[in-house]
Amino acid sequence: MSSAGTRSLKENLNYVQVAIAAAVAKRPHKAKEKDPRLVAVSKFKPKELIIEAYNAGQRHFGENYVQELVAKATDIEIMELCKDIRWHFIGHLQKNKIKHVVVLPKLYLLETVDSAQMATSVNNSVNTIYASQPDKKLNIMVQVNTSEEPEKSGISCSEVVDVVKHIHDTCPRLNFMGLMTIGEFGYDWSKGPNPDFLKLLVCRKNVCEALQLEEVDVELSMGMSDDYEKAIEMGSTNVRVGTAIFGAREPKKPATPAQPSQSTEAVTEKLKDLKT
C-alpha cells in the first residue's frame, strides 16, 4: 500500500475519507454521534495545496498560528477560488491576538478557548467587531489538557464544567459546540483505549449532566493523523488531519525578523477592498 507521501493529495483525501467511514462503522451500535468532520490542517502548507484540496472537495481547514491564518484567510486567490472554505483555529491563542482571529471571514470554529477569561475576551471582541450584527455568534470549543502535560494549553478536567457554565451564562456571543483535546503523542494503542480520549468523554458527560444538555449536541474534537480512526471509533466528531493529507511537513524554518502583524483595522480595510 502506498504511503501519504507517494499518493497524490486527492488520493490522500479519498484514503482518509474511506478510513473515516470505516471507523464510523466500527462504533458501538448504541453510539449516536454526529458524522465526523474532517479538518485538513494546512499549517506551513502553501495556498496552492489548500486550493487543490478545496477543489478535491475539502471544505474545513485548520491553522495553528494567527499570522498564518490571517494571511491565508485574507488571501485574494483563496477567497475568490474557495468561496465556501471554513477556517478552524486550532492553536494557542494569546489575548492580544483574539481580535485578529475574530474579524476573519469564513472563520467557522475557534477550537482552543482555554479559560473563562479567554471566553469573556472572545465574547467581548465579537460584540465589538460585529456591533451592527447583534445576532452574530462565534462557534467555539473548550480545550482540555487531558494529558496534564505542562507544555500543552487547555484547562484541567476538573475545570471543564465551570468554564462551560461561564460561557453558557455570560457569553451570549459564543456558541459552545464542544470539547477539544490533543492527548498524549505516540500513545500505544496496544494498551487499550487512549485514556485522554476517555477523559474527554467523561468531561462531556459531566458538562451535559450539569447543564442539562444532550451528549449528541456536544461535539468532541480529538484525533489527528496518527490516531483519527481510533478517535472516531471512540466518538470523535471532529478530527484534525494534516500529514495524512498533505504529506510530511518541512521542518519549521528558523525565526526571521517578522513583518508587523496586520491590525484588526488593516484586515477590515483589506476585506472592504476585496468586496468592492
CB–CB of 50/78 below 8 Å? yes
Decide: helix, strand or coil at residue 106.
coil
Residue 176's H or E segment, with its range, is: strand 174-180
For the CA atoms of the chain, what is the radius of gyration?
19
Residue 178: C-alpha distances to residues 39, 221, 247, 265, 272 (Å) = 15, 7, 28, 30, 32
pLDDT score of 276: 40
Nearest in space to 246 (alpha carbons), one of 45, 28, 18, 19:
45
pLDDT score of 107: 98
Nearest in space to 173 (alpha carbons), one of 239, 225, 98, 248:
98
Q: What is the pLDDT along the chain (276 residues), one digit of tens a residue?
A: 456 667 899 999 999 999 999 999 999 876 667 889 999 999 999 999 999 999 999 999 999 999 999 999 999 999 999 999 999 999 999 999 999 999 998 999 999 999 999 999 999 999 999 999 999 999 999 999 998 888 899 999 999 999 999 999 999 999 999 999 998 888 889 899 999 999 999 999 999 999 999 999 999 999 999 999 999 999 999 999 999 999 886 655 433 333 334 555 556 565 555 444
DSSP 8-state code for residue 5: T
